[in-house]
Each structure stands twice: as structure tokens, then as C-alpha cells.
Amino acid sequence: MANIKCVGILTSGGDAPGMNAAIRAVTRTAIYNEMEVKGIYRGYKGLLDGEIIPFKTNNVSNIIQQGGTILKTARSTEFRDPEGRRIAYETIQKEKIDALVVIGGDGSLTGARIFAQEYNIPIVGLPGTIDNDLFGTDTTIGYDTALNTIMEAVDKIRDTATSHERLFFIEIMGRDAGFLALNGALAVGAEAAIIPEIWTEVDQLEELIEHGFRKSKNSSIVLVAESEITGGAMGMAERVKKKYPQYDVRVTILGHLQRGGSPTATDRILASRMGAAAIDALMEDQRNVMIGIQNDTIVYVPFSKAIKNDKPINRDLLNTLRILSI
């Protein structure tokens, strides 16, 4: 069993609902196993600035239901430089931190991987991102809550879209990943989803119009994943307005409201299981792995796989969406 006396924990990158539940689980599982815990503030930046405090069980009381992250978060540019990582390592030595738990998305785990390799420090990652774009895990902390937030918001837009008989393009977050847009579209009964994963294969908008959407309907909702490739909801709306001036088109960009709010039960349970698993993994001498979940079972996914591989989208879902939107 690994001899880890003190674990440092940080959240990095875009916040995600359930990060607090994960912080709580890591902290309490570590203390239960007689380890010290140190909370590192503002992601990797906290390692550079030394913004670190000891965490006891009551530091994580009453946070399981809160969105955001009590540890704050940031995207640190300094940590991308070797010199920044050298300073971070000095802090780790000074604080007597033996291992790190990093909660974040793709960019944060990429940073963890490089740091772990350079300084031979055990790091376990937790997939904390609403985007659900990490390979090797069926889902990520925050994804379910964001999906439910999208569903509630789009249901409201549907009311006004129907009343005015309008076509709405609604932009959904996902940083070039279509999981939220596609599953969101299924959940709200949207007419279509435009996602970057299949953009190169077909002109999804043309296809949509060719299939005659809106003919038999008095409103249409299209969820568009944010993406530089597709030009997002604005880009789609402009194209449709030019070609079909008879359509009454509107655009809504849901934006950062998708990242906030109290986590769903699914996210709280996922974060609690993953947080506890992070400490188990460290005690089992695992390092440089992300905790994932596959078929309701916790798995360890090497950073190299989680980050490098593109997580495939389930194309059957697109077909189902098409069929159900006739």
C-alpha cells in the first residue's frame, strides 16, 4: 500500500455541478483513512501562489448540494510553462503534499499528466466537466445536471416558439463535443441537433431542410453545439434566413447558465463515488489515472487514454431523433 500521508485537492478549468460533492468525498475518504488533506485554491494557479489550506471534515460540510466549486477554479497559463510547473512542484514539497487529486476536464487532466511525468508525483484525476467529452468514462461529473438545465430552459423556449410559430436555433455548450446538444435534443423533443462530430460528413442543415422540417409543425427547435466548425447557432440562423426568408427565425445562446445550479442526484452520487474511488486508487498505488465509470462500475483510465482518444458519439441517437421528430 502506498505511503501517502497528505493529499492535495484542486478543481481546474470550467466549473461543473457536482465538483463540491467530489471535493467532499475526496476529503472525507482521505480523513477516514487517516490522511491529511490540503485544499488548493484556484486550480493550478493555487500551486503557484501557495494558496493552500488544511481541510478538515467540516470544511466540506453543507456543500454537496451547491453548484460551482468552493475551491474556485481557473485556467492557468503559467502552469503550461515548465518554469510554472517547477514553482508548483516547490510548493508541493514545501506543503509536504504526497499526492494530488485533480478535478477537471480535458485541459486540466492534460496538465496533470505532464506534471506527473515531469516530477514523478502520484496524481489521480476526476472527470469534472459538463461536456462529457472524456474518453473511458460513460459520463462526467456535471453532465447530467447541465443536461437537465438545458431541458428546463428549452422547454420554456418551446412555449414562446409555439405561440409565435417560430424556428429557434439554440446554442448549447460542449467545446466541439455534441453530447449535450444531441441528448438535450432528445430530451426536449427538438426537431434536430447539429453537432460537430458529424459535421464533416454531411451538411446537417441542408439535410434537415430537405427532410422538410417545419412543414407539419407550428414551431421548430434546433439545438446547435457550440463549435468553430459549424459557426454555432448564429451561423446556422444566418444561413437559413438567407435561403428561407419566409421563416421567422430566432437565436438563443444558453451560455454559462448551463454550468450553474445545484447538482442532480445522479451527479451527487457519481461525484461521491468517484471522489471516494480517487483515494482508494491512491492507496492502491495507482497513479496518473482518471477515475471513470463504465456500466455502473468504477474503472481506472490512464490519463493518456482519457485525453488523447476522441470519445465517440452514439450515432443511433441521431437516427432516433430524426424518427421522433417527424
Q: Which of 217, 153, 142, 147 is nearest to 179 (CA)?
A: 147
Distance (Å, whole) CA 144 – CA 33: 30
94's grid cell: 514545501
Give the contacts of 61 (CB within 8 A, at least 6 positions apart).
Answer: none
Q: Does 131 bind ligand F6P (CB under 6 A)?
A: yes
Among 130, 188, 205, 301, binds ligand F6P (CB under 6 A): 130
Cβ-contact 154, 293 below 8 angstroms? no
Stretch that binds ligand F6P, among 2-10, 123-131, 155-163, 273-281 (CB under 6 A): 123-131
Q: Which of 53, 68, 59 is nearest to 20 (CA)?
A: 68
CB of 306 to ligand F6P, least distance (A): 15
The dihedral built from the CA positions of residue 133, 139, 142 and 147, taken in this order, carries a sign that is positive
CB of 129 to ligand F6P, least distance (A): 5
Nearer of residues 49 and 176 to ligand F6P, judged by Cβ? 176
Nearer of residues 181 and 281 to ligand F6P, judged by Cβ? 181
Cβ-contact 134, 140 below 8 angstroms? yes
Q: Does 230 bind ligand F6P (CB under 6 A)?
A: no
Q: Does 173 bind ligand F6P (CB under 6 A)?
A: yes
Q: Does 18 bind ligand F6P (CB under 6 A)?
A: no
Q: Does 259 bind ligand F6P (CB under 6 A)?
A: yes
Q: How many residues bind ligand F6P (CB under 6 A)?
A: 10
Residues 100-119 that bind ligand F6P (CB under 6 A): 105
Nearer of residues 136 and 142 to ligand F6P, judged by Cβ? 142
Nearer of residues 21 and 35 to ligand F6P, judged by Cβ? 21
Cβ-contact 157, 293 below 8 angstroms? no
Stretch that binds ligand F6P, among 43-51, 157-165, 168-176, 245-253 (CB under 6 A): 168-176
Cβ-contact 60, 27 below 8 angstroms? yes
Distance (Å, whole) CA 135 – CA 124: 15
Give the contacts of 62 (CB within 8 A, at least 6 positions apart).
Answer: none
Nearer of residues 191 and 226 to ligand F6P, judged by Cβ? 226
Residues 20-39 that bind ligand F6P (CB under 6 A): none
**Cβ of 200: how many Cβ atoms within 10 Å?**
7
CB of 173 to ligand F6P, least distance (A): 3
The dihedral built from the CA positions of residue 179, 181, 186 and 191, taken in this order, carries a sign that is negative
CB of 294 to ligand F6P, least distance (A): 22
296 classed as catalytic: no
Among 14, 46, 232, 235, binds ligand F6P (CB under 6 A): 14
- Bridging pattern class, strands 220-225 and 192-194: parallel
DSSP output for 264-301:
PHHHHHHHHHHHHHHHHHHHTT--SEEEEEETTEEEEE
Site string for ligand F6P, 174-213 (x = CB under 6 A): xx--------------------------------------
**Cβ of 6: how many Cβ atoms within 10 Å?**
16
Give the bridge partners for 99, in sequence order: 7
CB of 282 to ligand F6P, least distance (A): 25
Q: Does 72 bind ligand F6P (CB under 6 A)?
A: no
Q: List the catalytic residue out of 131, 133, 144, 267.
A: 131
Give the catalytic positions in this structure.
Answer: 131
Name the site residues for ligand F6P (rule: CB under 6 A): 14, 105, 129-131, 173-175, 226, 259
